[in-house]
Structure 1
């Protein structure tokens, strides 16, 4: 065990065994006489006369940080055993500010629990171990692990993980569960993330652009979907792009539906999956981010095909909104006018075409 004596000399206790002193909230010092000097990392870095290189692991950390409770009324905590998020709604502590009783509610308010045993409190944490799959613009990938505080900005928390593999987090965008995660967000703002989950980091992808092919006056329109028949359309870019995602229309009367989709580029399948569509955006859209981004050259044909139903296995019908007057797509106001030509899909037998149906939007990066 390495330590300082009272006059600042550095010693090594060769008889001590390694111990998790942060968990024990104790620190056995050799030749400790009357006082302990506590140094910040900045102070240690400024002291050029010390004989060893300072790291985070050799700093004497503040006992105030170590003993501060993870339970605070109105704040979230994470149960490692149940893999559930809870919000603290009431709390009792002893004279040393150690929690002795707490009332908690799950994030979706479906369950309220009370805990009072030390073993129960030990199941909770305010740090999550998260994996990050880092994709560079050279095509190389790295998998790193980071322990993030649940209220810490993700960009700040991941800086050290990126530095460990010689990279900078500032040049990457983060994605989880098919949506972009902003650097100033925290884990507490991502309701479906859990310990051990993986965040995707992509370099140099730039801004995501949207191309709309219908006017959004669709509130009185309807489209029947049962999953037996396919809706498809073809987008042909007029310059090189990277394909990011697409949208279909939301259900008019259901909170979700099932959707099987297939993406081909010049007839070659690049992605195929079945998902549950929900969380309608702007009331009428389901926007879907693909699992990867795909390079598409000018003039190549992107065919998007979907099968939609309330339940695909039983072909239960679901009614969605739909677009119309699509033949006027070239005049619809978009950031990049004329970016796409649109053609009928080769396998569309549920009615979607250039003029009407699904696929109101396509999302892309510029090359």
Structure 2
């Protein structure tokens, strides 16, 4: 009524109601006519087509109704069940010759065969278990039927599971805290180990430097006597006289004076190396020996594997050292005679002991 001029409000309302009623009545008639047309359309056009379609596919529809309960079956589990009861397979006619009656009969036969062959699962209780169950039944149920419901049992199961879960969660939390502490301790020990390793590396470096310094000082002190003594002892060395000492990577290496860079270990014979050892011993004694102390030199079989020329040179060298007492051993009579002659010729007193004779005398006297 917005924008309409009127003088009597009652007549305006009556006219408006009549107008709306006429509109509503017309709309209802239109809707009813449309519904009638749709109904006639379904009756004449759609329903006959549906009837024909359903009639043509009634076999498939019936088969779908029959197999509706089998749609959710697990093929693997069904095959396992058939294998268990030793049924190789289920056969029916193909889709081209499908007969719902034949299929239903085959299906019923299969069910019957399964029922006959399937052995129900059995639980065999031991005698102790049976007695325990009887005791529980008598104590808590007074030999009457248990009154527990499935819901109560499920609730109890959930409660027990919660207890286990809470206990395991607490254990897990404890173990996680312990693991975190172990990781912290590991990192702490790892850092300490690194610091100690670094400190040890520093000490090793200082030790190597000190050892190298010691070897350098020793080398500088004995290099001249070593050259002289080794040259006098190893007189048959074909590459020249004298052995010198050099330092290579914290090692004291002996080289032939006329063949630089070659370790004498790979050049000299066993007897010559033995003479070099004695030359080194005499060089150290000459430099660091203290005459105020125990002035004695002990060498076990110094002439072993040494040739005659070197043996004579060594004997002469020993007589020139001014050593208070020299104790030597040898198992060769000729070498013993050489030493005896050289020492007596140099004016030194000599005392010989036959150790084999002394041993045999001791044994026979006992």
TM-score under structure 1 length normalisation: 0.19
Bigger-Rg structure (1/2): 2
Q: Which has the higher helix share?
A: 2
Q: Which has the higher strand share?
A: 1
Q: Relative contact order (C-alpha < 8 Å, sep 6+): which is higher?
A: 1
TM-score under structure 2 length normalisation: 0.19
